[in-house]
Chains A and B, each alone.
Chain A
């Protein structure tokens, strides 16, 4: 255990004194300041003279003030935090010739990778917690609203899944740093995967959906087929952890969202009546129930990703 703790301590102090931490934190602080400020301003205008809806506080996080909301920002650019913290975790030690020295100390080999992963995950947690606290402070002063206990619960859970989500990307980049000898290669591979999942999964999903359930435009869309098409598209795009995460976090932060699906077709008159009667926010437990599978999937992919890196690292020859 002393080995794990020693590596953890060293890595954590490395992170905190590194330029990349300062740059990342400055970037995130800046973006969250701007988005929240804009969100708060627009909320203030829109809510003027209107009876305040419940959960105003949470709206700070999902109102798109300046193009993107805080929640979207974490979904799109959160991965960069994980990737930057991990892309050279192992191969830099290898290139510098410190890895052999490290494992020839009386520690278990897994202390190295566990310590590095935990230190980076701690750094991620600290960044996210402080960002959310800053936004909350903003909300308190700009809007003058105080979060209720349910809002705090929702934020805490949102924080937790965000940490897992970014840790998944950390796991990916650590895996690349084990697989690729060259630091430049692992950095490029990490960014390439991020861009691929960001840009191309939605394109791929609509291609697959159109093959599986083609919508015939000439005859006017058959609602059944449109539903089918949309279902295909949503399910295929869940391949991307970004989609997985943004659906989970979006539903969690917005109590008015009843489902993670974006397209809900209600055809029958009775159904429409039942929908319109159902305009109250979901309570916390129900929201959790809706996003539960998404949360499990997120935790699972981050753990699997780390487990793969762990195995590869343990089985790799230490030389070469």
Chain B
């Protein structure tokens, strides 16, 4: 694992008219790691991700993704970062190949490479057999995998996955998590994974960050957080127990 940080924010803040969605958030994601991004609904995780992509301007503070300022160089950042939004949608009357073709066109891929890249990512996510089926007929699990395929098509350095396992059956969620882990290990893609499934996050994350009501209340490896909350020699506590303790205090 590299030591350089690939995402770094300093005092990142987003205020809407009456409320502060993200409040002075500073954290880092190291190159090559899986970073579990946790927090209750409405804690500001998605807003933070949007600011990291340059899709939303921070009120205060700054962010750096792959050494670039997403506010000023959004296009370059978006070329390096694959983003799978929460509840991602698809054009229901296109099939998987057409969907990926559109994404390839949008990211300005070379015409010659598109065909082979599409086949490759479809194999990676295991959708080759359903490649010519309309996306409208896909199950939720298949849609999420197609979402990952869209992200992979860009050959990203970093993936931001916002609740990728939400609403999936246990088996589908398990497979998706394994896919994410293998991408991280084999392709060395850094992953920023936001999820409510703490059990799965614990299994694959190297480090986690916990965000509550717009504030990043904890950042570090699970063992380190356990030590911090429950004392020395208490590393056996699960992520769920740690999270609940933070949540009650926050």
Contact = CB atoms under 8 A, between A and B. Distances in A.
Contact of A105 (B47, B76, B106): B106
A102 B91 contact: no
Contact of A318 (B55, B75, B89, B105): B55
B87 interface: yes
Nearest to B80: A106
B107 A105 contact: yes
B224 interface: no
B85 A6 contact: no
B55 A104 contact: yes
Nearest to A112: B106
A17 B134 CA distance: 15
A100 B105 contact: no
A26 B88 CA distance: 35
Given A97-B89, A104-B83, A107-B75, A10 B102 contact: yes
Interface in A1-29: 2-3, 5-7, 9-10, 17
A103 B89 contact: no
A106 B105 contact: no
Contacts of A103: 55
Q: Identify the interface centre among B53, B105, B107, B150: most chain A CB within 10 Å of its CB.
A: B105
B185 interface: no
B144 interface: no
B105 A2 contact: yes
Interface residues of B, number: 27
A136 B75 CA distance: 48
A318 B90 contact: no
A6 B106 contact: yes
Nearest to A6: B105
Contacts of A6: 102, 105-106
B240 to A, nearest CB: 28
Q: Identify the interface centre among A93, A102, A106: most chain B CB within 10 Å of its CB.
A: A106
A3 B83 CA distance: 17
Interface of A: 2-3, 5-7, 9-10, 17, 93, 96-98, 100-108, 317-319
26 contacts: A6-B102, A6-B106, A7-B106, A10-B102, A10-B105, A93-B89, A96-B91, A97-B88, A97-B89, A98-B90, A102-B106, A104-B55, A104-B78, A104-B85, A105-B78, A105-B106, A105-B107, A106-B75, A106-B78, A106-B79, A106-B108, A107-B75, A107-B78, A317-B56, A318-B56, A319-B56
Given A2-B105, A317-B56, A319-B56, 5 more contacts: A96-B91, A97-B88, A98-B89, A101-B85, A107-B75
